[in-house]
Amino acid sequence: MTDGARSATGPGRSPREVATHCPYCALQCGMVLREDAGAVTVLPRQFPTNRGGLCQKGWTAAELLDHPERLTTPLLRDPETGELRPATWAAALDRIATGIRAIQREAGRDAVAVFGGGGLTNEKAYALGKFARVALRTRHIDYNGRFCMSSAAAAGLRAFGVDRGLPFPLADLARADTLLLVGANPAETMPPMVRWLNEQRRNGGRLIVVDPRATATARQADLHLQPLPGTDLAVANALLHIALTEGWIDQAYVAERTTGFPVVRRSVAAWWPARAEQLSGVPVADLEATARALGTAGRAIILTARGAEQHAKGVDTVTAYVNLALALGLPGRPGSGYGCLTGQGNGQGGREHGQKADQLPGYRRIDDPAAREHVAGVWGVPADELPGPGVPATELLDSLGTPGGPRALLVFGSNPVVSAPRASHVERRLRGLDLLVVADLLLSETAALADVVLPTAQWAEEDGTMTNLEGRVLRRRALRPPPPGVRTDLAILADLATRLAAAEPAGAARPAATAAARFPTDPATVFAELRRASAGGPADYAGISWSRIDTADGVFWPCPTEDGPDTPRLFTERFATPDGRARFHPVDHRPAAEPVCADYPLHFTTGRVLAQYQSGTQTRRVDALRRAAPDAFVELHPDLAARLGIDDGDPVRVTSRRGDMRAPARLSPTIRPDTVFAPFHWAGPARANSVTNDAVDPISGMPEFKICAVRVEKA
């Protein structure tokens, strides 16, 4: 079957098939959807990232298309009863436009904010950023990707001059003699990737995992380093210390392709292995074995993920591993390198084209005058009308409804009531807004609080592009149109832009027809505009057309021209810095934002489970996934449980300074005795993010999801 859609021949109504991609993680596995007599089936598809394989989430993805809880009509909150009731699209959109203009007239443009999602297509992410800056003219826009890859992005930018999760194709993993995974658990978060890990080991390679838990991935490793949560930076500095001591530094590479190494060399001199062992709990012998495996390998790859990044020092932690990779001469070398495993489906593309508080399309900085002029020219507005930088997600959510903060919030593709840190506080902030609008396909916990809920199309009902963890731009194809009463996000934004333009005060109006033309509803038209807006930027899509993607297995950015090559591998000749050299940055370990104490003596960390995804809005409604992972749990070491008088299955309460969660205990020797773990996919009493700390990294704005101080007791 060619890449695209077809209708099979035969008697009666012919089945329809379309080649597309899974709606979940950033692996973006290829799949085929077939519709026959109204029933949609997922079929395997050979694609470079997954080679025909899918995880349980992918195989069951089509079950949500006709789910009985699917939203198919707008909902408005009745001011008398407080209940959400069905409404017409005209009434819902008028309510939003009227509310926005009233709030902005009274409190200014920035009194309205936008919160996006890392699962939106490139076209929708681009349109949402444009809508915030052109239709609303607010500086307040950010997205849930801030909770995902922001620390790795910031570290990549300051070291390499550009942020692309994997600067090489996923297939390179299989060629590595040594592969170091730091805070990554792909066996549960993106299972088809494990094929590459298995192939790497069959080829004689060595897999080393750094994780406080003996996860499904760690149990497959040749060596598992099990540090105290929050000490990954100390481990990285110790590894570089050992590499220096043993003479494994690539001196020629450091001299020719980097700057700043002497300062880093002096900074890690104090990180002798015994000091790191005392702090992290990782034995000196394991640190030495890891450094040796990396330093003596012909090809080595270092990958970080959320476990290392979701800390108030996440940027520095990632930087420490980047320093290690640069000192060993890995980035840009065939079969070697440093990379980050992006989490959300379009976590890469979603941050490239304008959802982040400080960015414009093409990964341009919003405070760069040249970038503002270029993008404003594409958008047809004066550059001085574009707002300046906003604030990161955690700060934005915390400011909602406060004096001087936003009084209205529009949410597209996110569920911060479950996914944000200190979630009970965020929920209170949302309840205090004058206007909360949520566009979603199901009534999420955030949508249930909204004044207006807008039903949106699903992944199989609209065309668009996604950018996976490799920087490979892919085509998502519609199998069928949305159900009656459901609109796409692009249509919603266009309708709102028209209404908002018509409601502009006298003398400031942009004609409604012009506003509608600036917000097209056809995704191909939006992508063509995105290409122009990104042209010349770090994430240059100018040479990527839908037709070019259709004739290949995706196209890697940067790709400046249609007749020129794309870039599967970055940094082969130079880095994206003014002088072409990568930058070392000295970084030092610092404690977690919240240390343990007598009242809160245990470390709490969070993560995922195989059968659920993100806030669980979708996966908790799929029968097979709910059976596989029906409930949340709190994982404790048996020794800790014995001290607390807790048996397996007992209901327990985990309490921090911010709130508590309750779930059954699950005893496991795979976790450290001083640490407890809970997955973050559930709402209500089992909401793990009621406990987590909203302290943030000062550079990236990443919250400290991965460690806080708690106490545990039988509920």
Q: Which spans in 67-167 are helix H? A: 89-107, 122-130, 150-160
pTM over 0.85: yes
Q: How confident is the model at residue 254 (pLDDT cuts 50, 70, 90)?
A: very high
Q: How confident is the model at residue 506 (pLDDT cuts 50, 70, 90)?
A: low
CATH number for the segment(s) 75-147+346-556: 3.40.50.740
What pLDDT score was predicted for residue 111?
A: 98
What pLDDT score was predicted for residue 11?
A: 44
C-alpha distances in Å from residue 412, one per residue of 14, 216, 256, 484, 713: 35, 33, 46, 20, 38
Residues 440-480 pLDDT 10s: 999 999 999 999 999 999 999 999 999 999 999 999 999 99
pLDDT over 50 at 682, yes or no: yes
d(CA 587, CA 270): 12
Q: Which residue, 178, 186, 184, 225, is CA-closest to 206?
A: 178
- The topology (CATH level 3) of 602-714 is Barwin-like endoglucanases (2.40.40)
Find out whether 146 and 394 touch, Cβ atoms under 8 Å.
yes
What pLDDT score was predicted for residue 13?
A: 63
User: What is the phi/psi pair of residue 202, to 5°?
Assistant: -65, -30
Picking from 368-377, 509-518, 558-567, 576-585, which range would have the lowest pLDDT averaged per residue?
A: 509-518
Picking from 149-153, 281-285, 554-558, 565-569, which range would have the lowest pLDDT averaged per residue?
A: 149-153
Q: How confident is the model at residue 172 (pLDDT cuts 50, 70, 90)?
A: very high
Find out whether 353 and 347 touch, Cβ atoms under 8 Å.
no
| Cα R_g (the chain), whole angstroms | 25
Q: What is the arithmetic mean of pLDDT over 256-266? A: 98
pLDDT over 80 at 6, yes or no: no
Q: How confident is the model at residue 517 (pLDDT cuts 50, 70, 90)?
A: confident
d(CA 282, CA 350): 36
Mean per-residue pLDDT over the chain, rounded: 95
Q: How confident is the model at residue 533 (pLDDT cuts 50, 70, 90)?
A: very high
Give ∠ CA 151-397-164 in degrees, rounded to 5: 25
What pLDDT score was predicted for residue 510?
A: 59
Find out whether 331 and 167 touch, Cβ atoms under 8 Å.
yes
What pLDDT score was predicted for residue 343?
A: 85
What pLDDT score was predicted for residue 47?
A: 96
Length of the chain: 715
pLDDT over 60 at 10, yes or no: no
Picking from 203-217, 227-241, 285-299, 337-351, which range would have the lowest pLDDT averaged per residue?
A: 337-351
What pLDDT score was predicted for residue 503?
A: 72
150-341 classified as CATH 3.40.190.10: no
CATH number for the segment(s) 5-64: 2.20.25.90
Q: Quickly count: other Cβ atoms within 10 Å of residue 223's Cβ.
A: 16
What pLDDT score was predicted for residue 502?
A: 82
Residues 207-239 pLDDT 10s: 999 999 999 999 999 999 999 999 999 999 999
pLDDT over 90 at 504, yes or no: no
Q: What is the arithmetic mean of pLDDT over 427-450? A: 98
115 forms beta bridges with: 142, 411
Sequence spans of domains, the chain: 5-64, 75-147+346-556, 150-341, 602-714
